[in-house]
Structure 1
Amino acid sequence: MAKTKPTNVPVEEFLLGVVPPKRQSDGVALAEIFREVTGTEPVMWGPTMVGYGSFHYASASGSTEGDWPRVAFSPRKAQLSLYGLKDLPEQVSLLPQLGTYTEGVGCVYVKKLEDVDLSVMRQLIAMAWNRTDG
């Protein structure tokens, strides 16, 4: 069962508490980009993840299942963590055009928004949002 679940904490309240200031301003900008692309309002997932929509997942073995945001981000102190942008083959092929980033197991890390092509980011978000398998 997933530990990260939706909360009732207002997203704006969370974003206003983000430090340092640059990470806060990037977080506010990301919230607007994700809102524009998805057409939906964000929800806090756990203490630090801003998520949009949700889907139910189950592992192939059936041992793990839960709900997860379709797309999400977290303005962490060291970098911006972007979730859902590398899950599909078409996203993986588009990712090199994003700009300067690194990858984790389930996410893409960006130091600052100026390092990436926002039109490519919007395409990656839209691909995740419109996926039909989750």
Structure 2
Amino acid sequence: MAELKTRPTGGAREVKAFVAAIADPAQRADAEALLKLMRELTGQPPRLWGDSMVGFGSYHYTYASGRDGDWFPVGFSPRKANLTIYVLAGFDRHAALLGRLGKHKTAKSCLYVKRLADLDLAILRRLLAGSLAQLGQQ
């Protein structure tokens, strides 16, 4: 069975350095805003996962195949093309909120946005809080 390659690599200090090193000032400001929002929602400190993902909290999962692992319930990564917001619970139960969120794209558990300014942040907060509640994390 394959091991999950992406693991926690650092704590709050490493996250602070990672965010401070983001070259684009607008993207850095978005990352700082997400740090604040996700910390408020989870009550957890940020952790660096791999070399470019910031996650909050920990969730243990087990697939029907028996494979299991740990992942963060919510997090983000400032990528070149998009700001990726990770929502472990996915979006199936949140279609109504997604319709009011603003300009975005989704994949299974990823929300892709150019800038937070493109979103209704109150709706993003509700979406993230709903996802955390779905996982029993809030």
**Superposition TM-score, scaled by structure 1 size:** 0.88
Structure 2 unaligned runs (5+)? none
SS at match of 1:130: helix
C-alpha distance in structure 2 between counterparts of 1:19 and 1:96, whole Å: 31
Stretch moving more, 88-97 or 120-129:
88-97
C-alpha distance in structure 2 between counterparts of 1:31 and 1:57, whole Å: 24
C-alpha distance in structure 2 between counterparts of 1:13 and 1:2, whole Å: 25
Partner of 1:29: 33
Over aligned residues, Cα RMSD in angstroms?
1.9
* The one of 89, 105, 108 aligned to 2:108: 105
Q: Which amino acid aligns with 2:132?
A: W
Partner of 1:7: 9
Aligned runs of 1:56-67 on 2, under 5 Å?
A: 56-62=60-66, 64-67=67-70
Structure 1 unaligned runs (5+)? none
Stretch moving more, 86-95 or 73-82:
86-95
**Superposition TM-score, scaled by structure 2 size:** 0.86
Equivalent residues of 1:86, 1:95 under 8 A apart: no
* The one of 97, 108, 115 aligned to 1:94: 97
C-alpha distance in structure 2 between counterparts of 1:118 and 1:91, whole Å: 15
Q: Cα offset for 1:115?
A: 0.3
- Quote the sequence identity (%): 41
C-alpha distance in structure 1 between counterparts of 2:91 and 2:118, whole Å: 22
Aligned runs of 1:46-125 on 2, under 5 Å?
A: 46-62=50-66, 64-84=67-87, 87=90, 89-125=92-128
Q: Which amino acid aligns with 2:63?
A: S
Q: Map Cα deviations across residues 13-63 of structure 1 (whole Å, 9 max, x no partner).
A: 11011132221111111111111222221111111111011111122222x
* CA shift in 2, pair 1:85/1:97, >3 Å: farther
C-alpha distance in structure 2 between counterparts of 1:93 and 1:61, whole Å: 32
C-alpha distance in structure 1 between counterparts of 2:68 and 2:23, whole Å: 33
Q: Map Cα deviations across residues 76-123 of structure 1 (whole Å, 9 max, x no partner).
A: 122110111762533233211111001123201010011000001101
